[in-house]
């Protein structure tokens, strides 16, 4: 069995490569739900959906999220209601775009949760509807919310105030300075997949944001303990290449939260729980600095511009973690 | 001030006529919410929306419900999830069709209710978004659910069991026999618009189903008492013409619940609270039987095939109730 800790886009591409290498039923991915949100009464799980749609071959390849050949009729119609009320209302938010086809997934998830199903069950059913044979597991069935503390007064709020991850990431396009990240609810939330982490042959950490995609999973009780005890079987792929995130704010967040925006900063975050770090050829000169953190460092091509590159990367990660 | 008790399609057409006759701000319509439902986590108010969309000139004229030039992308996409689970699940119901544009209204209502707004406030805001100047008032801000008891074993369930109004009306296309109708929650729900009913110059009962559209309003504490005390100012329009409902199951429901399926059956239901009944020319021969119930009977053209007919009907109703 192979366990993969995952965020959204980067993880989805990595999993697509892994699926070319091993039997799908041997893969279980534990996926971040810290950026789940409720909008219009609908339970939205962005990372779960990005992974599901990508692995089903239905993701919009340009946007990297949502379904291809999507329409936006409902969201466009919502603009009629957007200016009826003052800004104090959270109704009719049009900054979080939900495609018409995509809505069906949120409808199903919301209705199932309302009738008492767990998020694990629903995630499994949705994966089944998309004919996926690997196991997708939300990191917890309980509510954990990634909250971002603003470093300075800005359009998003005053310094020191907290906004939700989606407000940070989507509404403000991760353009505001951050002083802290918190995972509200993680103290009491029960993690999913701990047994699997304890027994898996390989544990891979996908090239996701270590501070807002992997950290929520690690914030759950017992996860870091298990990873630490399996450290030699844990292999991470750096999402930072040549000092920059391929997508998203990982580089800036590293700097803002006191880490070097480089594979060395990533190594420092993962060293306690992970024995091996895969970095890109572009960062080969930093391999010894990574190893100085007490990790084995593997240098290869990590930019997943094709399924073949993803597959080769997955193969390397598997070899290192076994 | 003119108060209009209203259901869905028939009431909407009548109100459209009334709006041609009087200042819009002088009209307040108290609208049935007994057939409100929650689907996919969304709060849906079919009668409120039918009235709003019709008066805004945005209704689909062929269907009589929902928006014109509508698309059905979200509902079509939901079919992917419809067969994942056994019939015991209420998730992914595709029998209640929600258009993509229409969804925006449910999104807005659901989000506003979730942030603590009352259904009255939200209804008012939605009317404002559609630039309506008349007041649309949900019969209550509390939950009242019209429940239908099945008269015999059928596809909808076993004899004596209860189904929701929308299951009866939409899922089973009102084709199953009914033994009783109940308005669950009406004992404790607080009615809206009682003051208005007490002070209005005219009280009109739109040509809506007396047993499942007007009865839920009347089931609320105090409504029948006020109507009774204002009986001479209350004028109803029969939704039954020549023994049949123009739309919907009113005729069959009258029979099943022990009334004549005719204007006389309607008169018996309304006589305690309403001094005047307008019936169609086709039923002129029943005028004396209506008056035998203690009501003044007015015979005119009630089939609202044009706004002009609706307007003339409204004028007659106003004259009778003043």
- Write the pLDDT tens digit of every residue in B80-100: 998 887 666 677 888 899 999
Model confidence at A89: pLDDT above 80: no
> In angstroms, what separates the C-alpha of B208 from chain A's closest C-alpha?
29
- Contact A75/B at CB under 8 A: yes
Residues A283 and A316 in one domain: yes
**Averaged pLDDT, A119-144:** 97
The last residue of a domain, from among A154, A184, A214: A184
CATH number of A125's domain: 1.10.8.240
> In angstroms, what separates the C-alpha of B53 from chain A's closest C-alpha?
13
Give dist(CA B42, CA B109) in Å, integer.
Answer: 8
Domain assignment present for B49: yes
Q: Is B101's CB within 8 Å of A77's CB? A: yes
Model confidence at B22: pLDDT above 70: yes
Counted domains in chain A = 3
Give strand pairing partners of A237.
A278
Residues A202 and A173 in one domain: no
Domain assignment present for B19: no
Give dist(CA B15, CA B11) in Å, integer.
Answer: 6
How large a percentage of chain A has pLDDT more than 90? Answer: 91
Element (H, E) at A227: helix A223-229
Residues A12 and A124 in one domain: yes
Q: How far is CA B185 from CA B5, B37, B193, in A?
A: 19, 14, 18
Domain limits at B68?
25-138
Model confidence at A86: pLDDT above 80: no
* A·B CB contacts under 8 A: 131
Of the candidates B42, B74, B108, the beta carbon closest to that of A92 is on B108
* Among B126, B129, B119, B136, residue whose Cα is nearest residue B25: B136
Domain assignment present for B118: yes
Tokens 């009962």, located at residue: B205
CATH number of A231's domain: 3.40.50.10680
Residues B175 and B287 in one domain: no
How far out from the chain centre does Cα B52 lie?
12
Q: Which two tokens stand for residue A299?
A: 């240098």
The last residue of a domain, from among A184, A209, A241: A184
Domain assignment present for B20: no
Residues A303 and A206 in one domain: yes
Kindly list the residues from chain B whose CB atom is less than 8 angstroms away from the CB atom of residue A117: 91
Residues A251 and A164 in one domain: no
Residues A117 and A231 in one domain: no
> In angstroms, what separates the C-alpha of B113 from chain A's closest C-alpha?
9
Residues A101 and A23 in one domain: yes
DSSP state of B77: H
Residues A262 and A293 in one domain: yes
Q: To the nearest 10°, report the CA torsion of A51, A56, A57, A60.
A: -50
How large a percentage of chain B has pLDDT more than 90? Answer: 90
**Averaged pLDDT, A76-85:** 89
Give dist(CA A183, CA A156) in Å, integer.
Answer: 19
Kindly list the residues from chain B whose CB atom is less than 8 angstroms away from the CB atom of residue A108: 40, 78, 81, 91-92
Residues A114 and A169 in one domain: no
- Contact A271/B at CB under 8 A: no
Give dist(CA A228, CA A28) in Å, integer.
Answer: 19
Q: How many residues belong to chain A?
A: 322
Q: How far is CA B95 from CA A115, A314, B91, B162, in A?
A: 18, 44, 11, 18
Residues B225 and B248 in one domain: yes
Q: What pLDDT shows up at residue B91? A: 78
Domain assignment present for B91: yes
Confidence band, pLDDT 50/70/90 cuts, at residue B265? very high
Tokens 């596809």, located at residue: B155
Encode pLDDT of B203-252 as tens digits.
999 999 999 999 999 999 999 999 999 999 999 999 999 999 988 899 99
Kindly list the residues from chain B whose CB atom is less than 8 angstroms away from the CB atom of residue A101: 73-74, 77
Of the candidates A85, A112, A129, the beta carbon closest to that of B125 is on A85
For the beta carbon of residue B231, count every other beta carbon within 10 angstroms.
17
Domain assignment present for A201: yes
Q: What pLDDT shows up at residue A85? A: 76
Domain assignment present for A87: no
Residues B315 and B257 in one domain: yes
| Residue-wise DSSP of A86-129 | -TT--SS--SS---HHHHHHHHHHHHHHHTT--HHHHHHHHHHH
Mapped onto helix, strand or coil, the DSSP state of residue B280 is: strand
Encode pLDDT of A180-235 as tens digits.
999 999 999 999 999 999 999 999 999 999 999 999 999 999 999 999 999 999 99
Give dist(CA A297, CA A283) in Å, integer.
Answer: 11
Domain assignment present for B1: no
Kindly list the residues from chain A whose CB atom is less than 8 angstroms away from the CB atom of residue B58: none
Residue A1: is it exposed, middle or buried by C-beta count within 10 angstroms (0-12/13-18/19+)?
A: middle
Give dist(CA A33, CA A141) in Å, integer.
Answer: 9
């Amino acid at each position: 069995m192979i366990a993969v800790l995952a965020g959204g886009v980067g993880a989805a591409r990595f999993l697509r490569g892994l699926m070319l290498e091993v039997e799908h039923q041997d893969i279980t991915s534990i996926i971040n739900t810290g950026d789940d949100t409720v909008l219009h009464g609908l339970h939205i799980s962005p990372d779960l959906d990005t992974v599901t749609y990508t692995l089903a071959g239905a993701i919009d390849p340009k946007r990297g999220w949502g379904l291809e050949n999507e329409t936006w009729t409902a969201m466009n119609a919502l603009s009629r209601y957007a200016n009826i009320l003052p800004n104090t209302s959270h109704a009719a938010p049009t900054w979080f775009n939900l495609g018409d086809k995509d809505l069906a997934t949120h409808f199903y998830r919301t209705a199932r949760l309302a009738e008492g199903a767990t998020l694990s069950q629903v995630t499994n059913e949705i994966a089944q509807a998309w004919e996926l044979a690997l196991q997708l597991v939300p990191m917890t069935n309980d509510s954990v919310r990634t909250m971002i503390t603003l470093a300075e007064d800005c359009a998003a709020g005053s310094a020191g105030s907290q906004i939700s991850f989606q407000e940070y990431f989507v509404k403000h396009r991760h353009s505001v300075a951050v002083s802290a990240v918190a995972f509200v609810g993680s103290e009491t939330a029960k993690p999913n997949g701990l047994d699997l982490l304890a027994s898996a042959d390989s544990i891979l950490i996908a090239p996701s944001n270590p501070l807002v995609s992997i950290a929520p999973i690690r914030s759950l009780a017992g996860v870091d303990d298990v990873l630490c005890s399996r450290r030699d079987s844990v292999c991470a792929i750096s999402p930072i290449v040549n000092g920059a995130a391929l997508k998203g704010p990982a580089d800036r967040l590293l700097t803002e939260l006191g880490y070097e925006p480089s594979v060395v900063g990533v190594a420092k975050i993962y060293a306690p729980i992970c024995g091996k770090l895969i970095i890109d050829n572009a960062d080969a000169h930093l391999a010894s600095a990574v190893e100085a953190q007490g990790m084995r460092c593997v240098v290869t091509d990590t930019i997943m511009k094709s399924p073949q590159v993803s597959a080769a990367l997955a193969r390397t990660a598997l070899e290192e973690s076994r």
